[in-house]
Amino acid sequence: MMQNNYMRSLFITVGFIVFSCMNTYAQVETGSLLTDAELTLEDAIQVAVANNPEVNRAILSVRDADELVDIAYSEVYPNISSSLNYTRNIEIPVSYLPAQIFDPNAPEGQLIGVPFGTDNNWQGGFTVQQNIFRGEVFVGLSTSEIYKAVQQENLRAVTQQVITRTRVAYYQVLAAKEQLRLQETQIKRLEQNLNDNQARQRAGLVDEYAVLQLEVQLSNQRPQLIEARYGVDEAYRNLKVALGIPLEIDFEVKGTLNSFDIIAADVESGENAGIKRVDQMNPFTFEKKYGEWASFIEDRGDVRVLDARLNLNEKEIQAVKSRFLPTITASYNLQWSAAQAGSPKFFQNSAPETAPNRIQSLAINISLPLFEGFKRTSDVQRAQIARKDIEVQQRAAKLAAENEIASSAERLNRSYETAAARKQALSQAEEGYQRALRRLENGVGSQIEVTDAEVQVRQAEVNYALMVFEYLSAKAEYDLATGRVPFVDMKGAE
C-alpha cells in the first residue's frame, strides 16, 4: 500500500511537458495520471514524454540552441569596454639625452639624465568596436536559427520514437497478461475436467486412463503458467524503462486484448477506450494505395531532420565562402589621462596644469586575407562533400520510409482481413467446447473430444489476442513511419 501511495504521488506530480519551442505539439490536460494504481495508455504516453531521458536531452539541446542564437546576435551588437589604470612611480624613469641640448658648451657625446614622468598617473576611458561587414557574422545569424530548427525537429523525432516504444511496450504488457489469463483459464478447465472425470471414475463411467491423461496434461500446463507469470513481470519492466520510472513502482495497465475489436469504431469494454482513442488519432484506411503512402514521407521525423540539416549545411557553405571577403570594423576610443606629483590626492580637484587630458579617436579597419594556403578552398570542398552526404542519407531515408510504411500498412491490412475470421473461430471454438462437455456428460462423447475442444478454444483465444496485438503494434509503427504520431503532431491529434 505504501508503495502504491508513493507511485500515486509520483504520477500526480508528473504532467505532460508543454513544448513552448515547438508549436506543432498538442497539449494534453494535466492532473492526476493515476487512479487506484491503474495506468491508461494515454497516461503512459504522458509519463514517458515527461520522464524519458532521450526526450529530456533533446529538450536541453533546444535550449542550448536558443543560447547559440543569442551568441550569434552578439556578433552584430557593438562591443563596449571600459578601462581604468593607476600607476605610482616609486622612482621616476630617467632617459639620457645629449647634454648639448641643455648646455651648448657641453662636451661632444656627453649625456645627461633627464627624468620623464610624474609620481602619479591616471588613465581611463571607453572603447567601442563595431563590425561593419563580416561575412561569417551575417551568415551565422541565419545559421543559428536553422540550427535551432534542427534541434526542434530532432526533439520532435525523438518524442515520436519514445511514444511509439511506449505504445508497443504497453501492448506487450497486455499481450503478456492475456497469455497469463489464457494459461490460467486453461488450467482451471483442466482441473474442472479432472475433478469431473475423477467423479466419473468413482462411478465407473470412465477408466483410470482417462483420468491419467488429464493429470499428465495438467502437469504439462503448470510450467507454462510459471513462464507466463515471468513474462508479465518482464513486460512490465520493459514498460517502466520506456516510461523512465523506477522499477520498484507497481501499477496495473488498463485494457484487454480479447475484448478489443479492431474494426468497430466504438469499444465494448470501457477499459479499452483510451487504447481506441489513441488508435484513431491517425486514421488508417483499409487497402490504402501505395501512392498515398509515399505522400506521408515528408512528415517523418528522420526525413525532416535531414531536410533541416541540409538547410544548415547550405549556410555553412556560405559561411566558409564568406572568408574570401574583406572584413570591415570600426572602433571609437575615448580616453582621459592625468598626472600628479607628490602624494596622490584622490577625489580632489586638480590644478589647472594637471587637469585630465581627453583623447578621442575613430578608426576604420579593412582586412582582406590574400593567401592562407589552400585551407579555405579545402573547407569549401569539405562542406560541399558534407552536403552530398546528407543528400545520400535523404535518399536512403526515403527508400527506407517507403518500405516501412508499406510493411506496416500491409500488416494492418492483414489484420483487417483476418479479424472477422479470428473472431468467428473463437466463437465457434467456445461453442464446440461446450458441446463436447455436454456430450461427455450425456455419455455420448469422450474425453478425447473434450481435450481436442480445449486445445481449439485455447488456440482460437491465442490467435485472436495475437491478431489484436499485431494490429496495435503495426498501427504504432505505421504512425511513426508516416510521421503522424499521437500527441506530437496536430494533424494526428485532430
Instruction: Give tens-digit pLDDT for 19-31.
Output: 333 333 333 333 3
Same domain, 247 and 395: yes
Do residues 129 and 274 share a domain? no
Question: What pLDDT sits at residue 209?
Answer: 81
In this structure, is residue 322 part of a structural domain? no
- pLDDT value at position 295? 66
- Same domain, residue pair 220 and 296: yes
What is the average pLDDT across 342-357?
65
Q: 275 with 417, same domain?
A: yes
Together in a domain, 176 and 86: no
Question: Is residue 398 assigned to a domain?
Answer: yes
Local confidence band at 291 (pLDDT 50, 70, 90 cut-offs) = low
27 and 119 assigned to the same domain: no
The answer to whether position 83 is within a domain reads: yes
Number of domains making up the chain? 2
Residues 196, 303, single domain; the answer is yes
Residue owning grid cell 551588437: 77
Averaged pLDDT for residues 325-344: 84
109 and 39 co-located in one domain: no
- Please state, in angstroms and as integers, the Cα–Cα distance from residue 359 to each residue in 130, 344, 349, 367, 376, following that order: 19, 23, 20, 25, 40
Q: Is residue 217 part of a domain?
A: yes
CATH, residue 469:
1.20.1600.10
> Per the domain annotation, does 49 fall within a domain?
yes
Same structural domain, 199 and 250: yes
Are residues 350 and 386 located together in one domain of the fold? no
pLDDT of residue 26: 35
| Same domain? 484 vs 390 | yes
Assigned domain for 258 exists: yes
Q: State the residue range of the domain holding 108.
A: 77-133+327-367
β-pair partners for 337: 123, 357
Confidence of residue 237 (pLDDT cuts 50, 70, 90): very high
pTM of the model: 0.70
- What number of residues does the chain have? 494
Q: Reply yes or no on whether the pLDDT at 250 is more than 80.
A: yes
Please indicate, yes or no, if residue 216 is contained in any of the structural domains: yes
Is the pLDDT at 64 greater than 90? The verdict is no
pLDDT score for 173: 94
184 with 48, same domain: the answer is yes
Upper half-sphere CA count for residue 10 (Cβ side, 13 Å):
19
For residues 391 and 46, give the distance between their C-alpha atoms in angstroms, rounded to a whole number.
35
* Closest to 472 (Cα-Cα) out of 259, 163, 162, 170: 170
Mean pLDDT of 351-368: 79
| Per-residue pLDDT, 447 | 66
Identify which of 72, 79, 13, 74 has the alpha carbon closest to the alpha carbon of residue 46: 13
In the predicted structure, residue 329 carries a pLDDT above the cut 70: yes
Higher pLDDT, 129 or 21: 129
